[in-house]
């Protein structure tokens, strides 16, 4: 199957902010060979390449003067299953939340806390996605990626990926690797992660005692639906800022001034601050200027009310960063990739 390269394609439908910019060239790939053909096409014409998955962790600030390669391969396979532990492989183009639900339907535990996160399986390791006390790396078994420099396939173990908080080797080397498929090690009997945020309270309200992994997923879907806007209704990329890590001394000093500071001590002695709390305390929650704004229910989420440009959303983010730095002496890092 040969690729079809189109020119001047609007990316509005391919990014969850709904920003209307155009790709100079655009191609969708559905297997490894099409990925190779696309890379060869770009190399022959000396075109830069921009990889695109679900577009849910992306802020586009201008037309993209490159070949936008959208990874759309689908497929889920059981590589091994001994009755308790199973290794599941999914193609990069699989939508993340339906994949999580599929694993739960098979009776597998591990990904339930990551329910309702937008995006694709292939993009998930790049950001080491996480929510409610669980990160992707906790259930990660390996992945297959194509090296754009050599054209060779490489198998990655968890240690190879250099996973960190919302970070990985693939985020650090965005111009090198094309993730093709990802493997997860999941179990049918494993402890549930219930002690982060309002999860346990929601489970009690649901009458889920003792809860199953599917109960946890339903609780988290309900919580996220209440707090986070649906990108199909209101353009957004989920949490726009990382929760900042600060020295324990700085957190203690902030707590003297703000007794209700939301902070989580870390194993390395640092303290993770809730970026949403900082932004809300600074008065940005619900702020709107034109069609760029901060969500009225979740200060961590920037939203596009319709016609906001990527530049307008980025300018708002930078104003928030400057204000938080001035008020609290804390630097906020933008979580989505900004192009």
Distance of CA 83 to the CA centre of its chain: 31
Q: Nearest Cα to 156, choosing from 125, 134, 123?
A: 125
Query: Is 216 within the bounds of a domain?
Result: no
Query: Is 192 within the bounds of a domain?
Result: no
pLDDT tens-digit series, residues 61-98: 999 999 999 999 999 999 999 999 999 999 999 999 99
Question: Model confidence at 147, in pLDDT bands (50, 70, 90)?
Answer: very high
Q: Is-catalytic flag, 38?
A: no
Residues 101 and 61 in one domain: no
Among 14, 44, 71, where does a domain finish?
Answer: 71
Residues 63 and 119 in one domain: no
Query: Is 200 within the bounds of a domain?
Result: no
Write down the residue that tokens 């968890």 correspond to. Answer: 158
pLDDT tens-digit series, residues 235-262: 999 899 999 999 999 999 999 999 999 9
Which three-class secondary structure state does DSSP give residue 312? Answer: helix
Among 56, 71, 86, where does a domain finish?
Answer: 71
Q: What are phi and psi for residue 59, nearest 5 degrees? A: -125, 115
Beta strands in the chain (DSSP E): 6-10, 22-29, 49-52, 58-59, 64-71, 76-81, 85-91, 130-131, 134-135, 140-147, 153-156, 177-187, 235-239, 245-246, 263-265, 271-273, 288-289, 292-294, 301-304, 337-338
pLDDT at 272 over 70: yes
Residues 244 and 262 in one domain: yes
- Residue 81: half-sphere exposure toward Cβ, Cα within 13 Å: 11
Query: Is 280 within the bounds of a domain?
Result: yes
* Greater model confidence, 11 or 267: 11
Query: Is 34 within the bounds of a domain?
Result: yes
226-237 b/e (C-beta count within 10 Å ≥ 16 → b): eebbebeebbbb
Residue 57: the pLDDT is 87
Q: Is-catalytic flag, 239?
A: yes
Question: Model confidence at 220, in pLDDT bands (50, 70, 90)?
Answer: very high
Query: Is 202 within the bounds of a domain?
Result: no
Query: Is 222 within the bounds of a domain?
Result: no
pLDDT tens-digit series, residues 13-36: 999 999 999 999 999 999 999 999
Rounded to the nearest integer, the mean pLDDT of the chain is 94
Residue 232: the pLDDT is 86
List, in order, residues 6 or more apart from 44 with CB less than 8 Å away: none
How far is Cα 224 from Cα 217, in angstroms, rounded to an integer? 10
Residues 66 and 88 in one domain: no
Among 52, 71, 90, where does a domain finish?
Answer: 71
Which three-class secondary structure state does DSSP give residue 286? Answer: coil
pLDDT at 202 over 90: no
How far is Cα 192 from Cα 194, in angstroms, rounded to an integer? 6
To the nearest whole percent, how much of the chain has pLDDT over 90?
A: 83
Question: Model confidence at 201, in pLDDT bands (50, 70, 90)?
Answer: confident
Residue 16 sits in a domain whose CATH number is 3.30.43.10
Domain count, the chain: 3
Catalytic residue among 166, 183, 202, 281: 166
User: 52, 70 in Cβ contact below 8 A?
Assistant: yes
Residue 289 sits in a domain whose CATH number is 3.90.78.10
Residues 242 and 156 in one domain: no
Residue 1: the pLDDT is 59
Question: Model confidence at 56, in pLDDT bands (50, 70, 90)?
Answer: confident
For 43, the domain range is 6-71
Catalytic residue among 38, 217, 239, 309: 239
Torsion sign across C-alpha atoms 82, 84, 87, 90: positive
Q: Is-catalytic flag, 77?
A: no
pLDDT tens-digit series, residues 275-330: 999 999 999 999 999 999 999 999 999 999 999 999 999 999 999 999 999 999 99
275-290 b/e (C-beta count within 10 Å ≥ 16 → b): bbbbbbbbebbebeee
Residues 260 and 161 in one domain: no
Residues 85 and 161 in one domain: yes
- Mean pLDDT over 260-283 rounds to 94
How far is Cα 317 from Cα 224, in angstroms, rounded to an integer? 22
pLDDT at 198 over 90: no
Residues 261 and 311 in one domain: yes
Residue 96 sits in a domain whose CATH number is 3.30.465.10
DSSP code at position 51: E
First to last CA, the chain: 30
pLDDT tens-digit series, residues 175-193: 899 999 999 999 999 899 8
How far is Cα 291 from Cα 298, in angstroms, rounded to an integer? 17
Query: Is 228 within the bounds of a domain?
Result: no
Residues 260 and 317 in one domain: yes
């Amino acid at each position: 199957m040969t690729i079809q390269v189109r020119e001047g394609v609007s990316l509005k439908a391919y990014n969850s902010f709904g920003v209307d910019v155009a790709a100079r060239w655009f191609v969708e790939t559905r297997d490894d060979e099409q990925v190779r053909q696309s890379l060869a096409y770009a190399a022959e014409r000396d075109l830069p390449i921009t990889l695109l998955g679900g577009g849910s962790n992306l802020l586009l600030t201008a037309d993209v003067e490159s070949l936008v390669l959208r990874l759309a391969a689908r497929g889920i396979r059981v590589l091994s299953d001994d009755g308790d532990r199973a290794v599941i492989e999914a193609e990069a183009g699989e939508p993340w939340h339906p994949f999580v639900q599929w694993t739960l339907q098979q009776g597998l535990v591990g990904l339930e806390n990551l329910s309702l996160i937008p995006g694709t399986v292939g993009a998930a390791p790049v950001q080491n996605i996480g929510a409610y006390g669980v990160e992707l790396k906790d259930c990660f078994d390996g992945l297959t990626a194509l090296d754009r420099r050599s054209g060779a396939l490489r198998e990655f173990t968890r240690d190879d990926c250099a996973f960190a908080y919302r970070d990985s080797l693939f985020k650090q080397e965005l111009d090198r690797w094309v993730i093709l498929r990802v493997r997860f090690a999941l179990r049918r009997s494993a402890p549930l992660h219930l002690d982060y945020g309002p999860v346990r309270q929601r489970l009690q309200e649901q009458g889920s005692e003792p809860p199953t992994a599917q109960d946890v997923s339903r609780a988290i879907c309900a919580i996220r639906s209440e707090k986070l806007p649906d990108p199909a209704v209101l353009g957004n990329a989920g949490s726009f800022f990382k929760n900042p890590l600060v020295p324990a001394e700085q957190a203690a000093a902030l707590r003297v001034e703000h007794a209700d500071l939301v902070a989580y001590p870390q194993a390395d002695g640092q303290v993770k601050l809730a970026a949403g709390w900082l932004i809300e305390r600074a008065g940005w929650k619900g702020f709107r200027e034109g069609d760029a704004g901060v969500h009225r229910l979740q200060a961590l989420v920037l939203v596009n009310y319709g016609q906001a440009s990527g530049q307008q959303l980025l300018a708002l983010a930078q104003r928030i960063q400057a204000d938080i730095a001035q008020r609290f002496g804390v630097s906020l890092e933008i979580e989505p990739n900004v192009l």
